[in-house]
């Protein structure tokens, strides 16, 4: 039975990636609508032929890697289970110590280390791709350092999750998912609170914006929007990337307005103010809190579904997966597999909501700044620096895009006077 599962898994994986390769490289239509030819949304207007060609190449390969890596992760978990690797690590952990919390840590470390080892080649390909297309400026030692930091941060957080989750599963066999969701609410809010001041600085250096005149303009814009901000932070991303970004993150007293130094280098003050007005639009319209509510709603449904699916799979194919009960630590990779699939399947919904909120923030920015040209040029520069597709394939848009396409964003600004 295990061999049948393994062979079928590999066959389905190969069929899927072959179909996605054909779709992305040959089947999808990414041409600009005739009505928009020659407008500011047409990449031929603001990119030269070589830049257009590179952008199309990079986008296709990057999108293919996304659709390759997601099911690849599922294959890794399935093969682990079929080979009995989680059961072996669980026995090893129990033989090493009598303390359950340490058993959890030992088990999780080896599962996490094996997963990192198996997925590292694809991650490295993604890194080399961005380097070859001059998106990434990061050296290999720096990239590897970030990978290891990510490993240990995730390990620490997952150790807490694993320990609490399996304590609940053993104590409340039927309703563990509900209590897990209830505990996830304060845990999620706590992580969002500490992220700007604890987690983010592990990867990059943050410091107050050096351009004090620009900071004054941004804070004046924030004051106009009734946003309680005292500082604007700059982050040194130029040592890692040539792309641009700006964001507001955190909650409560730890919320921060952050600009990448690449954004400061490549955009004018008016364009930066438009970008910051967009970010302030998220704050004013309470998108952060809607996002938290949406995440908690999805996690409620996800945990409920995961509990039922786990029970069914273990009852039906427990021997095949080398799992005798959901209470076994060996069932954790199955839990991760189910959650990953559910997240992927729900991403079109969450991405649609995110794109709606981003368009609302764009609308807020143009209303606040009344500078259409600054908005259009900033989107054109974002496209150039990130080698983004202006009009991506449909499946790429619904599964990957948390922002409207550049075609939609620039077109909205072009039509602003008419809408107004």
231 annotated as a binding-site residue: no
278 annotated as a binding-site residue: yes
Output the CA–CA distances (angstroms, integers) from residue 302 to 16, 258, 346, in the order listed.
24, 32, 9
Which listed residue (279, 371, 389, 408) is catalytic?
A: 279
Whether residue 195 contacts residue 249, with contact meaning beta carbons closer than 8 Å, is answered with yes
380-384: list long-range contacts, CB under 8 Å, 24+ apart. Answer: 380/40, 380/46, 380/406, 380/410, 381/244, 381/266, 381/267, 381/271, 382/243, 382/244, 382/406, 383/43, 383/46, 383/47, 383/55, 384/46, 384/47, 384/51
Whether residue 308 contacts residue 197, with contact meaning beta carbons closer than 8 Å, is answered with no
Which listed residue (362, 371, 389, 408) is catalytic?
A: 362
Ramachandran assignment for 101, one of left (phi > 0), alpha (psi -120 to 50 degrees), beta (any other): alpha
DSSP 261-322: HHHHHHS-HHHHHHHHHHHHHHHHTTHHHHHHHHHHHHHHHHHHHHHHHHHHHHHHHTTTTT
Q: Residue 218 and residue 274: Cα distance in Å, rounded?
A: 10
Catalytic (active site) residue 279:
yes
Q: SS3 of 341, please?
A: helix
Phi, psi for residue 324 in degrees, rounded to 5: -90, -25
239 annotated as a binding-site residue: no
Catalytic (active site) residue 362:
yes
Q: Which residues are catalytic?
A: 279, 362
Binding residue positions:
278, 282, 358
Binding residue positions for Zn(2+):
278, 282, 358
């Amino acid at each position: 039975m295990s061999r049948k599962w393994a062979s079928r898994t590999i066959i389905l994986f190969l069929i899927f990636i072959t179909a996605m390769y054909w779709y992305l490289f040959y089947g999808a239509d990414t041409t600009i609508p005739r009505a928009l030819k020659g407008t500011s949304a047409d990449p031929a207007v603001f990119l030269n032929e070589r830049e257009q060609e590179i952008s199309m190449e990079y986008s296709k390969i990057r999108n293919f890697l996304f659709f390759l890596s997601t099911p690849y992760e599922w294959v890794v978990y399935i093969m682990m289970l079929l080979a009995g690797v989680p059961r072996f690590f669980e026995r090893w952990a129990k033989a090493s110590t009598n303390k359950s919390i340490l058993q959890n840590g030992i088990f999780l470390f080896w599962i996490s280390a094996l997963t990192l080892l198996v997925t590292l080649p694809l991650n490295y390909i993604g890194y080399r791709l961005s380097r070859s297309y001059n998106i990434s400026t990061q050296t290999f030692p720096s990239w590897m350092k970030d990978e290891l930091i990510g490993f240990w941060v995730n390990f620490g957080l997952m150790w807490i999750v694993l320990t609490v989750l399996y304590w609940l599963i053993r104590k409340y066999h039927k309703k563990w998912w509900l209590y897990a969701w209830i505990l996830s609410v304060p845990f999620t809010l706590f992580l969002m609170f500490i992220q700007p001041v604890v987690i983010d600085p592990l990867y990059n250096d943050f410091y107050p914006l050096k351009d004090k005149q620009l900071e004054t303009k941004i804070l004046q814009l924030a004051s106009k929007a009734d946003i309680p901000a005292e500082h604007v932070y700059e982050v040194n991303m130029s040592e890692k990337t040539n792309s641009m970004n700006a964001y507001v993150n955190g909650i409560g007293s730890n919320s921060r307005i952050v600009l990448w130094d690449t954004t400061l280098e490549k955009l004018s003050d008016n364009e930066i103010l438009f970008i910051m007005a967009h970010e302030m639009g998220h704050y004013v319209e309470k998108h952060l809190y809607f996002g938290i509510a949406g995440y908690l709603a999805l996690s409620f449904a996800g945990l409920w579904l995961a509990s039922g699916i786990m029970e069914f799979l273990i009852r039906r194919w427990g021997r095949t997966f080398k799992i005798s009960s959901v209470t076994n630590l060996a069932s954790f990779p199955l839990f991760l597999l189910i959650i990953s699939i559910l997240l992927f399947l729900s991403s079109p919904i969450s991405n649609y909501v995110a794109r709606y909120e981003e368009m609302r923030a764009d609308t807020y920015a143009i209303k606040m700044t009344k500078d259409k040209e600054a908005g259009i040029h900033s989107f054109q520069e974002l496209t150039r620096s990130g080698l983004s597709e202006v009009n991506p394939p449909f499946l790429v848009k619904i599964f990957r895009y948390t922002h409207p396409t550049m075609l939609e964003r620039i077109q909205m600004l072009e039509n602003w006077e008419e809408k107004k």
